[in-house]
Structure 1
């Protein structure tokens, strides 16, 4: 009886090994995630701005410092290199509920960032599905300042210009699935200084500058 059992086991062993090999061939093996490709998404965040309103004569400087919430869309492209570095380009535009209010001799000045956007390069190093990155590029913002007079003549728009500058930042992005990506990002943007719109043609130096610190979270879909 023992001889029969040993013979049966000896005959069936190769069959079992072959079946296990077949199963290993059929079961999928997880491949490393690829960051290469086009993506698009949405983002929201908070912006804290610093802005100075300056008139050389009679020597007036007022901090406008708008702050508030932002929300917008972005689109970009990544290329993952063989050494796990990821290079890419991204553009974004955001609607801004960012404003400030400061006192002035003849009333109040309200500052508003109407919209902002950028075109940037990105570079990062991937840890499979997690991508820390840095980013830098050109930035623009529509900036307005209004003198609130409180008189029957109404308010006076004293500045209405598109500021062009630069932006730098860093963030972390994670691929929760093969298609859906989430991120958190910090950005500093310097939109430069523009002449005060109302001072055009007036014999004095008057300008407004603008910088912002942004914290953003976003969700993207990879095509």
Structure 2
């Protein structure tokens, strides 16, 4: 989380200076995308995640590799700044923080005809700090974006009737994100958006296996579809 906040501050600072210096200059003809904005997003995230334990299969003879694949709805806030150049190219930076109702449930093979244990994967929150670039067609702005991303990811083993829960993994993953979208300013202040984003949060060892010689890992990638509404200051 600290990495995400520091990256956001580093990216936004020079853009804020550029926007302030441009206040006294004449705006280009038509709508001007320059300035600060903030807003909200909602959407759907489909995750791809694999849990790997070396020698973790039946009787410890084979490796265990389980697809966890959480999915669900997301919602959160964003804050950013744009600067529109004379040739209508728009550059900017943006940070966001999302609450995730994104989870998955899979049976853990106990090596028999039935399953008594489940693995639950949960994406608790995610966030990103990104650079953006686009080309303004008046009040419509298609753009691409890329940057650093972070997510809090948990994997829990649930036994019996749910009374026994063992945390396998509870870590913050840091990776990268890339995406594309389109915005439309339907008034001078209010801007609607739609966006696709791919994020790769990397791979980490299972928390429960810390200090053990067994090779373990859990990774996470997500595909997001989001819509949002921003207010330009």
TM-score normalised by structure 2 residue count: 0.81
Alignment partners' CA distance in 2, 1:82 and 1:152: 61
Which residue, 102, 108, 119 being the options, matches 2:106?
Answer: 102
Q: 1:153 offset after TM fit, Å? A: 6.6
The SS at the match of 1:198 is: helix
Which residue, 149, 152, 160 being the options, matches 1:142?
Answer: 152
The SS at the match of 2:155 is: strand
Alignment partners' CA distance in 2, 1:152 and 1:190: 31
Q: 1:150 offset after TM fit, Å? A: 1.3
Residue equivalent to 1:38: 36
Residue equivalent to 2:52: 54
RMSD over aligned CA atoms reads 1.3
Q: 1:82 offset after TM fit, Å? A: 0.7
Alignment partners' CA distance in 1, 2:94 and 2:162: 47
Q: Describe the superposition over 1:35-65 as per-residue Cα deviations: whole angstroms up to 9, x where unpaired.
A: 0000000000000000000001231000000
Which residue, 154, 167, 170 being the options, matches 1:160?
Answer: 170
Aligned residue runs from structure 1 range 77-96, under 5 A: 77-96=81-100
Residue equivalent to 2:229: 219
Number of residue pairs aligned between Structure 1 and Structure 2: 194
Which residue, 117, 121, 143 being the options, matches 1:133?
Answer: 143
Q: Describe the superposition over 1:141-199 as per-residue Cα deviations: whole angstroms up to 9, x where unpaired.
A: 00000001116871101100000000000000000000000000000000000100000
TM-score normalised by structure 1 residue count: 0.85
Residue equivalent to 1:123: 133
Q: Max radius of gyration: which structure?
A: 1
Alignment partners' CA distance in 1, 2:71 and 2:141: 29
Q: 1:105 offset after TM fit, Å? A: 2.6
Which residue, 172, 177, 181 being the options, matches 2:187?
Answer: 177
Alignment partners' CA distance in 2, 1:88 and 1:113: 28
Query: Could you say if the C-alpha distance between residues 152 and 177 of structure 1 is closer, same or farther in structure 2, counting changes exceeding 3 Å?
Result: closer
Tell me if 1:210 matches 2:210.
no
Alignment partners' CA distance in 1, 2:160 and 2:171: 24
Q: Which runs of 5+ in 2 are unaligned?
A: 1-28, 57-62, 111-116
Alignment partners' CA distance in 2, 1:151 and 1:215: 35
Alignment partners' CA distance in 2, 1:152 and 1:219: 40
Residue equivalent to 1:114: 124
Dislocated runs of 4+, deviation >4 Å: none
The SS at the match of 1:65 is: coil
Residue equivalent to 1:198: 208
